[in-house]
Amino acid sequence: MSEWHVRMRTIQIITIFLVWYLGFAINVHAMPAQVMIIRHAEKYEDRQKIHLNNWGLTRAKALSQFFQTDPRVLEYGVPAAIIAQQPGQKKRSVRCEETVEPLAQVLGRKVINRFAYGEVAKLVEWLQGSSEWDSKSVLICAQHLDIVPIAKALGVPNIRQVVWPHETYDRVWLIDFSSNGKVSSFRDIPQRLLFGDSFQVVSKSERSGTLGFSQTYQETSDGYAGNVPAITWKFGITAEVRGDFSRFDDDTVPVLRLGGFTFGYYATTLGKLRQNKDAEVKTNTVAGSGTMRYNYKALVNGIEQTYAWVTFAWDKEGLKAEFQAEVDESKVTPDLNMPVEFHLDRSEGMISGVASCYVALGDKRFHAPAGLPYRGIATRSKDSSNKKVYQAILTDENGVIVEKRYLPEL
């Protein structure tokens, strides 16, 4: 082969390589710089109503300003694309579209509503296959059951939260991507838009109740690649609220929430709990009092064991709600979320933060107005087997519960 042919062959190889590399680079950069996920705004308790309630319509308008002015969500400018899940054959709700429509109108964008509820894989595949949003931000509005699956499908690792809490409408998940399309950071931030939102300070002169909690978390790893850490945690919370709770019936719903833990949804009525094998409900309508206990159970070596429980007790004087858990995740896969989250890469020393808090019995609803502040100590060490051990011990800082204005349509 002549020298000329050798040179031409070399040029061809280099050209093919450059074309392949550029194509690969384009595909790698197809992901947006940031994906923001929100839940649709507030809805009616009546499942036949497919629209936002008045509170939700107010949040939708507030969100149109939030995504134009809040610096926390403007690192890559206003959303270049606004995606909202659309009604499907089984779920006819238009709440996602209604939530982002005010923002779309003011930005002159068209809401992308080509994906129905539950079509998580299709949505993520479409997003990953498009280079139109490269280096820009994209907003997704979804139903709460799809939010965690969407984040996981986008590549967010170690989401311990099983499902988005049922009564939560005021959070934004921010997922950042590096130049190679991999997740570089994940944040969960409060919107702080409406009365009672997470971390929103509400002044009230009268103490309506008190709340306290403590949590111990331990993570043990041998440090090898791919090893799944052994996780154990203990948690206890007690909320007490003064007042007359004597008016209740089988449609009354007890709710207790702190951070990632939530007991009680709008379908968890006292009537349904009476029929649940893991619950015990005792009421006295004449005295206006009652108690409820729910046990979280799992099979351990073929034997059913209780690893956590929540109780409510109420009468004409007040309400007391309590939750206790002791979980070894090497033996039990818990059917609940850890209240305050920690991971092995957390720094050691003094740590502090704020956890959302909410307690309710029927139409009486209470919350910690600014969230519940906590403080603790985190340490790193090695055990006798030379495994890495991370431990965090937290306590609250005298949480105060205030009464929240009750809106029947919520």
| In a domain? residue 180 | yes
CATH of the domain at 111: 3.40.50.1240
Q: Does one domain contain both 222 and 259?
A: yes
344 lies in which domain range? 209-404
* The domain boundary residue, chosen from 133, 161, 190: 190
Q: Does one domain contain both 185 and 229?
A: no
Q: Does one domain contain both 171 and 256?
A: no
Residue 138: predicted pLDDT: 97
Q: Does one domain contain both 225 and 372?
A: yes
* The domain boundary residue, chosen from 130, 163, 190: 190
| In a domain? residue 1 | no
| In a domain? residue 51 | yes
Among 153, 312, 304, CA closest to 240: 312
CA distance 406 to 370: 18
* The domain boundary residue, chosen from 190, 221, 246: 190
Is beta strand 137-142 parallel, antiparallel or unpaired with respect to 34-39? parallel
Q: Does one domain contain both 41 and 162?
A: yes
Q: Does one domain contain both 76 and 223?
A: no
Q: Does one domain contain both 230 and 276?
A: yes
Q: Does one domain contain both 158 and 236?
A: no
Give the number of domains in the chain: 2
Residues 295-351: tens digit of each pLDDT: 999 988 888 999 999 999 999 999 999 999 999 988 888 888 888 876 656 678 888
| In a domain? residue 202 | no
| In a domain? residue 357 | yes
Residue 367: predicted pLDDT: 79
Residue 203: predicted pLDDT: 37
Q: From first to last of the 410 residues of the chain, give the pLDDT tens digit.
A: 566 555 556 556 555 544 444 444 444 446 899 999 999 999 987 767 899 998 899 999 999 999 999 888 998 999 999 999 998 777 788 999 999 999 999 999 999 999 999 999 999 999 988 889 888 999 999 999 899 999 999 999 877 666 677 778 988 999 999 888 889 888 888 888 886 676 444 434 455 688 889 999 998 887 544 566 788 999 999 999 988 999 999 989 899 988 888 898 767 889 999 999 999 999 999 999 999 999 999 988 888 999 999 999 999 999 999 999 999 988 888 888 888 876 656 678 888 887 878 888 987 878 776 668 888 999 988 888 888 888 999 998 777 787 755 333 22
| In a domain? residue 327 | yes
| Burial annotation 367-405 (CB, 10 A radius, 16+ → b, else e) | bbbbbbebebebeeeeeeeeebbbbbebebeebbbbbbe
Residue 369: predicted pLDDT: 66
Q: Does one domain contain both 156 and 186?
A: yes
Residue 5: predicted pLDDT: 57
Q: Does one domain contain both 236 and 157?
A: no
**What's the pTM value of the predicted model, to 2 decimals?**
0.58
Please enumerate in sequence order all residues whose Cβ is within 8 A of that of 155, keeping only pairs 6 or more positions apart, or say none: 182, 183
User: In Å, how far are 61, 80, 114, 141, 297 from 108, measured between CA atoms?
Assistant: 15, 10, 18, 17, 51
Q: Does one domain contain both 221 and 98?
A: no
Q: Does one domain contain both 375 and 240?
A: yes
| In a domain? residue 17 | no
| Burial annotation 171-199 (CB, 10 A radius, 16+ → b, else e) | bbbbbbbeeebebeebeebbbebbebbbb
| In a domain? residue 63 | yes
